[in-house]
Amino acid sequence: MRIIIFILLFFSLQSQAQIIRANPLYRPFLVASGGCPNNANATAWIAASGITDSTGIHCFFNGLVDSSLYSYMSSGAAWFLFGGSDAACKLNIFNPVNSDGAYRLTFSGTWSFSSTGADPNGTNAYANTHIVPSSFLVADSFHLSYYSRQSVTGVQELAGSYNNSGQNIQFIINNSYTGSLTLDGYNPSSRLEASATNTTGFLAASRTDYGTAAIYKNGISLGASTTSATGTIPNINMYLAAANVGGTPVLFASPELSFASWGHGLSPQKIRALNNLVEQLMDARGIGVQ
């Protein structure tokens, strides 16, 4: 019995990469003991991306299904950015087809790719998601997430689509007004700002209806709004690691990212579930931060 307990503890510690998570409900993937069965969607993405290290990926997909996130998020897009090359990082995990219509990423500028993530240089690097928010979003419902492995300063756009002052979605890091994370939802009058001690970990912003928006770090709400303003869903492509302002990338971001997602608004419960899965995946791969 003691031997069995020791083995389980050993695998848990290894899968957490020595990170102690504050969330009392957090459980690591037991990937070393073969604890996750194969998932057909995971298999499809692994084959299409050509990634050689699939650690934790089947567990992640199974978790999406078990938490009812897969059916909810699959109309949008998400990307694993730890594949080591642009070819291994660009495909949407929900539709791993190498086409703009499937929301593949098109990388521009200078990026560094490694097993820990994709690192934009903060000067000219960004990725076109080929997502036009107005093409599938319903009013007042969207989320963006970005797993940042570095803490940075300055005004940097994690993601953005800005056609005019009443038609924009932006998730901004260390905004110059107040706080360190900012969400714009269609109209600057609906701007939500929150303060964070650093910009590492799972950063997310979500708007679920006209009067409800929130910013999260590692699954915990940093600030929520109960009032909003009217506006229009942007009709130009969403950029990652920069904002698309009328077709021009601006305010380039520099933190290395290992995961990103974009789609319909997620409730606080869904954000926590997604956060746990992302943390489990990163810890299983030994690249988790907090």
pLDDT for position 17: 45
pLDDT for position 31: 53
Low-confidence ranges of the chain (pLDDT < 50): 1-17, 32-33
pLDDT for position 108: 98
What Cα–Cα distance (Å) separates residue 35 from each residue in 62, 68, 239, 282? 11, 20, 36, 16
Question: Pick from 112, 72, 79: which is nearest to 96 by CA?
Answer: 79
> What tokens were used for 96?
């791993």
Any residues with CB less than 8 A from the CB of 1 and at least 6 apart, and which?
none
> What tokens were used for 234?
């942007």
pLDDT for position 27: 67
What's the pLDDT tens digit per position in 123-161? 999 999 999 998 988 878 899 999 999 998 889 999 999
pLDDT for position 167: 83
pLDDT for position 192: 85
| Element housing 12 (H / E) | helix 2-15
pLDDT for position 228: 59
Q: In whole angstroms, what is the distance from residue 199 CA to residue 219 CA?
A: 13
pLDDT for position 24: 60
